[in-house]
């Protein structure tokens, strides 16, 4: 079974600065997908960024980028130019490509990010 | 296009009761999945429905059951409620059941269940 670990429960960043959120995972599969989701106080999960394991190039979405280290099974999220609206819980998630239930995401425990004005 | 809507937003039940939570999927989506998110934890996959049938299940007992309707909306039913069932229940819809692509889920805002 796959596991996702987010060992930092909380982080804080100054507005306009850069912050990196860490995530490690464990799997025996060679092909899979990784995601970062944001959950604001409104509770709705919002996709931030996704990475396909077979792609070596790190995914980027505007101010959000990842550092995907497949051999180390590490998938960190970098938020540049942090904004007050970035304050939320962030979840790292894994999805297998072999399961028939392709809505099955395995989530980490999450990290609470606060942004200081 | 409309997103995923869930009802009710909050509810309180007592131990042993039964509860039904509802979810309307995003327009164009044919697959619905349900997740349980305990306080301070990440969501855990309960099951997925495609073409009105369950086609994937997480580590949850049979008293967690569901339905999907022809319009792709869905219900989550929980019987014999236990205190540990208190959680946020998230519904997510997607459009590529069985596909191997990066099936992106659209989540609703959840139903907060408290069991006393």
Query: B90 — contact with chain A (CB < 8 Å)?
Result: yes
What are the distances in angstroms from CA B31 to CA A64, A104, B26, B37?
28, 12, 10, 20
pLDDT for B28 equals 82
Question: A100–B56: do the CB atoms touch at under 8 Å?
Answer: yes
Q: Under a CB-based contact definition with an 8 Å cutoff, are residues B88 and B37 in contact?
A: yes
Q: Write out the two tokens for A21.
A: 């959120």
A22 pLDDT above the threshold of 60: yes
Smallest CA–CA distance, residue B94 to chain A, in Å, is 8
A103 pLDDT above the threshold of 90: no
B99 pLDDT above the threshold of 70: no
Segment A80-103 shows an average pLDDT of 88
Is the alpha carbon torsion for A21, B112, B103, A105 positive or negative? positive
Out of A45, A47, A105, whose CB is closest to B45? A105
B95 confidence band (pLDDT: 50, 70, 90): confident
Give the number of other CB atoms < 10 A from CB of residue A44. 18
- Tokens 């509860």 belong to B19
pLDDT digits (tens, 9 = 90+) for B67-82: 999 988 999 999 999 9
CA distance A73 to A92: 12
Question: B92–A45: do the CB atoms touch at under 8 Å?
Answer: yes
Query: B95 — contact with chain A (CB < 8 Å)?
Result: no
Smallest CA–CA distance, residue A107 to chain B, in Å, is 5
Query: B97 — contact with chain A (CB < 8 Å)?
Result: yes
Question: A102–B99: do the CB atoms touch at under 8 Å?
Answer: yes
Among A79, A68, A62, residue whose Cα is nearest residue A21: A79
pLDDT digits (tens, 9 = 90+) for A29-67: 888 999 999 999 888 999 999 999 988 889 999 999 999
CA distance B26 to B9: 17
Question: A102–B97: do the CB atoms touch at under 8 Å?
Answer: yes
pLDDT digits (tens, 9 = 90+) for B33-57: 999 999 999 999 999 998 899 988 9
Q: Which residues face B37 on adjacent strands?
A: B88
CA distance B21 to B75: 5
Query: B74 — contact with chain A (CB < 8 Å)?
Result: no
């Amino acid at each position: 079974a796959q596991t996702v670990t987010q060992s930092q429960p909380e982080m804080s960043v100054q507005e306009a600065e850069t912050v990196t959120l860490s995530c490690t995972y464990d799997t025996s599969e060679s092909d899979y997908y990784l995601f970062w989701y944001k959950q604001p106080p409104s509770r709705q999960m919002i996709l931030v960024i996704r990475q396909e394991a077979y792609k070596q190039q790190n995914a980027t979405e505007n101010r959000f980028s990842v550092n995907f280290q497949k051999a180390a099974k590490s998938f960190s999220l970098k938020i540049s130019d942090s904004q007050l609206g970035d304050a939320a819980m962030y979840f790292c998630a894994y999805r297998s490509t072999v399961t028939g239930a392709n809505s099955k995401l395995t989530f980490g425990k999450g990290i609470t990010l606060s942004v200081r004005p | 296009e409309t997103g995923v809507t869930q009802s009710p937003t909050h509810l309180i039940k007592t131990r042993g009761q039964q509860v039904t939570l509802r979810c309307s999927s995003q327009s164009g989506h044919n697959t619905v999945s349900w997740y349980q998110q305990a306080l301070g934890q990440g969501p855990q996959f309960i099951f997925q429905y495609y073409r009105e049938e369950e086609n994937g299940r997480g580590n949850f007992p049979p008293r967690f059951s569901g339905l999907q309707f022809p319009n792709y909306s869905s219900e989550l039913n929980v019987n014999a409620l236990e205190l540990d069932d208190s959680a946020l229940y998230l519904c997510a819809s997607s459009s590529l059941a069985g596909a191997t692509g990066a099936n992106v889920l659209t989540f609703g805002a959840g139903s907060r269940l408290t069991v006393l």
